[in-house]
Structure 1
Amino acid sequence: MRKAIVYASVHHGNTEKLVKRIAEECQVDLIDTVKQQKADLSDYDMIGFASGIYYSKFHQSILKFAERNLPEDKKVFLICTYGGSENYKSIEQTLKKKHASVIGKFGCKGYDTFGPFKLVGGIAKGHPNEEDMKNAVDFVKGLH
């Protein structure tokens, strides 16, 4: 079963830490939307979308990538890192248009120094930590 994770990690590299660990331990191809805006996803059985949460949304590059590149009727899983709270609504709107089946969601805290958090030295320092990464790997291994 071929799996890919399409991701964007631009602030502190939180999401990239997770997806790289997943790729090390699971057979998953990684596609960084910041560097690559196009990819043929038709041969993948399962596609993950991973992002930090920016203004309560997945990163804009992920949303655009999914809109342009996601084939119809694919199995999809979602991963996010967040300082405040997880939020999947923005990506789910795009996936609905593509008739994708969301088969699982995983979220964990990520170090965040955006806006007012900068004044206090950030929140969720040290995340994602080793336990978060293990949980992310277990999440992907459990997908069918």
Structure 2
Amino acid sequence: MKTAIVYYSEHHGNTKKLLDAIAAQHDVDLINITKDSSTDLAGYDRIGFASGIYYNAFAKQLLEYAQANLPEGKDVFFICTHGAPSGAFMKSIREITEPKHCKELGAYDCRGFDTFGPFKLVGGIAKGHPTEEELRGAVAFYEKL
């Protein structure tokens, strides 16, 4: 099964750490939209979308890419890292995939070191994340898809 994970991972690279752990054990194509925004997703059986969370949503750049490039009817999954302990993190990406009749296979999220916006003033939150356990959790999530 041919799988791509389209991602946006800036600032501390938290999301990329999860994806690198998955890619180290599985054959997946990682597509960094800050470097490659022209990949045709039609040839993939499964498409993952991965991002840090910004104000309770996936990165704007990733959402715009998904809106413009996600073919209808694909199997999709989501991965995200976030500083805040909880939230409706998947809502923004689901608002794009559901109208395209994509089948959601699952979602994985974990904490990630965050110094974005006001968190910079206090030295950041969720220091030390993602942990080794969270990296293993991302791989286990992928293996269950």
Shorter-chain TM band: over 0.9
**Equivalent in the alignment of 1:110:** 112
* Aligned-pair CA distance for 1:115: 2.4
Q: Which residue matches 2:99?
A: 97
Listed one character per residue, the Cα deviations across residues 91-111 of structure 1 (whole Å, up to 9, x for unaligned) are 100111211111100000000
Q: Which residue of 1 aligns with 2:45?
A: 45
CA contact (8 A) 1:106 1:136 kept: yes
The question of 1:15 aligning with 2:35 is answered no
Residue type of the alignment partner of 1:12: H
Rounded to whole Å, the distance in 2 between the matches of 1:65 and 1:98 is 14
Deviation for aligned residue 1:10: 1.0
So what's the TM-score if we normalise by structure 2?
Answer: 0.94
Larger mean CA deviation between 115-124 and 6-15 belongs to 115-124
Distance (whole Å) between structure 1 residues aligned to residue 138 and residue 56 of structure 2? 21
SS in structure 2 of the partner of residue 66 of structure 1: helix
Which residue pairs with 1:60 in the alignment?
60
Which whole-Å CA distance do the structure 1 matches of 2:131 and 2:38 have between them? Answer: 31
SS at match of 1:31: strand
> Residue in 2 aligned with 1:25?
25
Once the two structures are superposed, residues 84-130 of structure 1 have per-residue CA deviations (whole angstroms, 9 ceiling, x without a partner) of 13501111001112111111000000000122222221111111111
Are 1:79 and 1:106, in contact at CA under 8 Å, matched by a contact in 2? yes
| Aligned partner of residue 19 in structure 1, secondary structure | helix
- 1:123 matched to 2:125? The reply is yes
Q: What is the aligned partner in structure 2 of residue 36 from structure 1? A: 36
CA–CA distance in structure 2, aligned partners of residues 38 and 95 of structure 1: 19
- Percent identity over the alignment is 55
- Unmatched tracts of structure 1, length 5 or more: none
Query: When the two structures are aligned, how many residues end up with a matched partner?
Result: 143
Post-superposition, which runs of at least 4 consecutive aligned residues in structure 1 deviate over 6 A? Answer: none
Provide TM-score, normalisation by structure 1.
0.95
